[in-house]
Every structure is written in C-alpha cells, then in structure tokens.
Amino acid sequence: MNLIGFIFTLITGILTITLPRRFAILPIILTSLYMTQGQEIVISGLNFTILRIVILFGWLRLFIRQELTPIKFNIIDKLIITYVCVGLINYFLLRQTFSAVINQLGFAYNVIGIYFFFRYLLRDYQDIERTIKILGLAILPLTIIIIYEMLTGRNIFYIFGGVHEIAVMRDYSFRCQGPFRHSILLGTFGATSMSLLVGLYANVKMRKLWLKLSIGAATLMTIASTSSGPAMAYGFGLIGFLTWYFRRHMRVIRWGILCALISLHLVMKAPVWFLIARIGDLIGGSGWHRSSLIDKAIKHFDEWWLIGTKYTADWFPYALSSNPDMTDITNAFIGDGVTGGVLKMLLSIFIIVACFKTIGQSMSVVENTAHFLPFQVWSIGVCLFVHVVSFFSVSYFDQMIVFWYMLLAFIAAIQSQIEPLVDEAYQCDILFPPSSPKRKG
C-alpha cells in the first residue's frame, strides 16, 4: 500500500464511523469507484484490500453506534447465507488445502460483510432512494477520469496497482477500465447504474442537471468499455424500461419469451444459447466463447455437478495463462457451478428468482401510491435484469460485487417493508374474496 492508498484508507475509515447513518454508505461507494484492488495489506497470508478494510470499519461503526437493530430475516437473507456456506464447504472439499480455506473465508467475508452492512443501514425506501442519489453524484468525477482514458489510453488508476497503465485497444478504440480489473466490469457498472438512476427521474423533484449528467456518465462508461457484454446488458435494460407500459401483462410476456426460445431451439441448427454468439457478431466481442462455454458446461456436467472441478482446460483449446488448469469462465452461473457444484449454482438462481418475486409483489402493493414510486421499484427490477444479462458474459471478481450485493440489499429491504402488506392482502383474499360485499370495507 502506497502513501496515497494509506491516506485514502484512513479518511474513508474515519468517515465510515463518523458520518450520519444516512451518509454512512458513501465511503464504501467511494472506495469501490476511486480505489483499485491493487492496494492491500497482507497479514499472515491474509489479503486485506482497502475495500475489505472499509468493510471492517463499517462493522465497527454498527457496533460502536449501536446500529445493529434486529432485522427479520427474509428468504433473500437466508438464501445468501446458505449460498456462502455451500460455497465454502464445497470449495474446501474440492481443494482440501489450507489455502482453499483462506480463499473461501475471504469470499464469505466479502459477501456477508458487504450485504449485511447494507442490510442494516437500509431500513426503508427513503434510504434506498438516498443511496442511489449518492451513487449518481459519486460517479460524476469518475467520468472525467474515464474521458481522459478514452482520449489518451492512459489509466491514471495504475498508480494504485491492479490495473493496466495503457488500455487495450479494440477496433481502434481504447477499452477503458478505470479502477475496475477489466473493461467489461466498468461497462457493466455503467449499464447497471443507468437502470437505477433512470428510476429517480420519475420523481419530478429529482429532475435536476446532476441526474441527467449522471445518467449520461453511466452511459459513457458503458461505451468507453468497448465491450459487447455491457452493450448488450445496456440494451436489455432499455427493453426492460419499455416493458413498463406492459407491466400488467408480464405473465403473458414471460411465457411468450419462454415459448419463443423453445421454438428457436427446435428450429435452429445450433442450440438456442448460440444466439449470444449471433449478437456478439453484430456488436463485436467474444460471443462465440460465451455460447460455447454453456455448451461445454452441459457436456462436462458429470465432472462438476457435485462439488465443482479443478480442471476445465480441456473444455477449449486454450486456457488461462494465470492458471493452465482452467479455462476462462466468463459466465457467473457456470462459475458458481465450477467452484461449488450444481447446488451453489441453483442457490444463486434461487436468490435471483426470490428477488424478482419480491419486485413483483412490491409492484402490486405500491401501484396506487405516489406516482413515481412504482416506476422506481420497477427500475430496481430492471437493474436486477441487467445484472442477470451481464452474468452471461462476466463473473464479478473485484469491487463490482459491492454494487451487486447493494442491489440485493435494496430488494431485501423492500421485501421486509412489503411482506406484512402482502400477508395482509393474502388474509383479506381468504376472509373476504373479491366477490364478497365486505371486501369493499
């Protein structure tokens, strides 16, 4: 850790403890956007990046300021804890080394530390809206740095380590990455942030210049990454907002999409997941690898389904230079399967399903409330959808996990608020069916 990194850590740590609760999330967002994973302290083989140190300060805050108020654990909370436990156990059974234990303890520390830090601080929808506003303001200075990287190809974050000084080029354009460890992750951050920020635009009081600039900044980051995965995710995000006008017919739309995919699978010469390769051919990128990876994972299912596998180099004629035994697993779902077996993969899918279900229930509850609230809840669902699309092109392996688990904490907080209302509506349906004259009362 250099001097700048040390000073940054000290300032963000102090801010994490001293800021009012409504702004306590700011330091971890700033750390994710303005510091790389290259700044770290190693203690007895344990790697503490600045992000992990700030997480530690966050939990110290919760204890010191007595903000660990009891929360009612919902299905999302329980699934995340189970997901971490299964991943930790299966990875150890697969590797059976002390380093495997250290690796998965770091994984558990990141997931549980980030998710429940947000979970304890985000108590209602006002907290969620404020956090999105903080995110929108925080990315504005980063945009200037990304523009500089687009024009010169130099990434000023290289002084912190963990990123390249000179950006890689594709089609005569620099693939900017900013503080992230890969350009795809910068683009994914931009695409997912756009979805959240557009939701704020529904509130007339929020329609200010900074919000418009923030939406433009998020879009610029997606473009600056020069990556097909984020571009595709951004496009699906726009489609998600268009479906707002058909939100009362989503069941029909979902079944229609499923039937269309099955029909295409039956008539296409290649499996339906090779549509990713077709899209990649249109907008550029390595779509064929992502399609073929799904194909290979299915064909080698017997090798990884139980607790994962340590060897995937035979899936492709090329492997990772950093690990010759493994190929590049650019799919988050397959990544979970390879590191923890089919159970870990299914748990990650169940988390997403539970989140979509919560968004659907929330829409039914808030449909007739403040005119902007339903659209804001919808935008959170769109952001979840954009993340899911991104999972088919990248597995998060740096500070991008902060924004993923922040979103899950958003949805879990919403569920805790609407769960009593959903239960009340369910009881009402049983006691007073819609046809009952007492239902009106």
87-111 burial: b if 16+ Cβ within 10 Å, else e = bbbbbbebbeeeeeeebbeebbbbb
Q: How many CB atoms lie within 10 A of CB 15?
A: 18
State residue 432's pLDDT score. 35
pLDDT over 90 (residue 365): no
pLDDT tens track for 202-247: 887 778 899 999 999 999 999 999 998 999 999 999 999 999 999 9
pLDDT, mean of residues 8-22: 96
Query: Of 320 and 345, which is predicted with more confidence?
Result: 345
Query: Of 390 and 368, which is predicted with more confidence?
Result: 390
Query: Strand, coil or helix: what is 172?
Result: coil
Task: Kindly state the tokens that stand for 54.
Answer: 């700030």
State residue 422's pLDDT score. 57
- Classify burial at 25, counting beta carbons within 10 Å of its beta carbon; exposed 0-12, middle 13-18, buried 19 or more: buried
State residue 424's pLDDT score. 55
**177 — phi, psi (to 5°)?**
-130, -15
Confidence band for 333, pLDDT divided at 50, 70 and 90 = very high
Q: For residues 200 and 363, what is the distance between their CA atoms, to the nearest angstrom?
A: 16
> What are the residues whose beta carbons fall under 8 Å from the beta carbon of 257, sequence distance 6 or more?
none
Crossing angle between the packed helical segments 400-431 and 75-95, to the nearest 10 degrees: 130
Is residue 392 within 8 A of residue 276, CB to CB? The reply is yes
Lowest mean pLDDT among 179-188, 291-300, 377-386, 430-439: 430-439
pLDDT over 90 (residue 434): no
pLDDT over 90 (residue 421): no
Q: For residues 402 and 184, what is the distance between their CA atoms, to the nearest angstrom?
A: 16
Confidence band for 420, pLDDT divided at 50, 70 and 90 = low
Q: For residues 390 and 382, what is the distance between their CA atoms, to the nearest angstrom?
A: 12
pLDDT tens track for 275-304: 988 887 777 667 899 999 999 999 999 999
% of the chain at pLDDT higher than 70: 94
**Rg of the chain (C-alpha set):** 22
* Long-range contacts of residues 151-157, Cβ cutoff 8 Å, at least 24 apart: 157/36
Query: Strand, coil or helix: what is 348?
Result: helix
DSSP string for residues in 244-288: GGGGGGHHHHHHHHHHHHHHHHHHSSS-GGGHHHHHHHHH-S-HH
Query: Of 304 and 169, which is predicted with more confidence?
Result: 304
pLDDT tens track for 94-127: 998 888 888 889 999 999 999 999 999 998 889 9
Confidence band for 370, pLDDT divided at 50, 70 and 90 = low
Nearest to 387 by CA among 256, 229, 242: 229
**Alpha helix (H) ranges present in 273-399?**
275-283, 287-299, 301-304, 332-366, 373-390
Q: How many CB atoms lie within 10 A of CB 230?
A: 30
**90 — phi, psi (to 5°)?**
-65, -35
State residue 438's pLDDT score. 42
Lowest mean pLDDT among 146-160, 314-328, 363-377: 363-377
